[in-house]
Structure 1
Amino acid sequence: MPRVLFILLALSLGGFAQSPAPRSVIVFGDSITAGSALPKEQRGQLWVTQVQQQSAGALTLINEGKGGRPTNSLAEFEAMLTRHAKADALVIALGMNDSRDITPQCIPKAVANVRAMIVKARAAYGEKLPVLLVGPSNINKAALGATKPIANEREAKLRELGAAFEKLAAETKSEFVSLFGGVPDSSLLKDGVHPDGAGNDAIAKVMGEKLKVLGW
């Protein structure tokens, strides 16, 4: 093939040869997002890592998880927005730590906090920023530590938080997915809250399928 024709052919195919840049998705969550309770040998099974790998290069998940984080961490959320100048989508995965508050104020406070996060994120990244709210996962009541005396009440709050976040998602034109009931009790034996490697596999399956449906 003449050199000129070869160059023209290469240029014409260049647009197809280049893969699109991966979409950046910030995941703002607690220890279940951070994976801080996973044994070192299971860290590769962290659900955030798995979902990114499953995307085959389509997504870059930015792990902004932190152990013990409740929804009232607005200052930390604002600092996160400052750290990341750009994002294509946002996942908010909180509520597990809020469930320790079994008073009537728990749900309205959590909803107000998450609503504020959505407003701030869209002010920073654009009004059309896709947002996915994640309903908190289930617990193993028998394996709980300090909160075992309020196990039933805490479980009820987790259900309520999930329902409230689903309603908030509809109000804010966001998406919603629930993790409640998705983690086997056998994966929550450590402390009733933090899933092991197999539990992270289960979460990754739910989250991966949801992101695939959303086309992120």
Structure 2
Amino acid sequence: MQLSYLNEPSILYDLQYRYNQNMIYTKVGPVLVAINPFKKVPLYGNNYIEAYKRKATESPHVYAITDRVIREQDEVNQSIIISGESGAGKTVTAKIAMQYLAALGGGSGIEYEILKTNPILEAFGNAKTLRNDNSSRFGKLIEINFSETGKISGANIQTFLLEKSRAVQCNEGERTYHIFYQLCGGAPPSLRGNYWLYTLFHFC
């Protein structure tokens, strides 16, 4: 935001400089640029959530974007669009945003049920690719509803663009959807072959 010259070389240099200091978030106008650190960084949790809720910090963060969206909605629907290449961290970023929403509009218990849907959706829609062991191979629209008091009252999740070809054909070094391996891994050896064929048939 404070660059004298806003062009591609200066932005890339700034991103690299911040990344080398474990500052993985950078604000570019209304857009938050996030770079996958490929390691754990101490930027999340209750202490950080409280800091952004109290406006004690204004550092670029998913929490800050989510906080702004929820506080500026003024009875108008708002959207957060998370996009990027495979392995960029879109799925994790969506989880982080939902955790903040749950903390901000908590109290009903529904927010935790929404968060629990992620592993189920990932089992049926995520797979191992050459870039990422847990790559989303589908799109997801999560619509979260709030009550008049600001608490989460419900949610609707729509999935689209599922990569169906992955169910029957994978490149070398890749895998199909996690659910196949989870079912086979949990089944007795005598049933693994049957489960695999049954699951594959019904999934297609």
Higher relative contact order structure (alpha carbons within 8 Å, sequence separation ≥ 6)? 1
Which has the larger helix fraction? 1
User: After TM superposition, is the score higher than 0.5?
Assistant: no
| TM-score, length-scaled by structure 2 | 0.24
| TM-score, length-scaled by structure 1 | 0.23
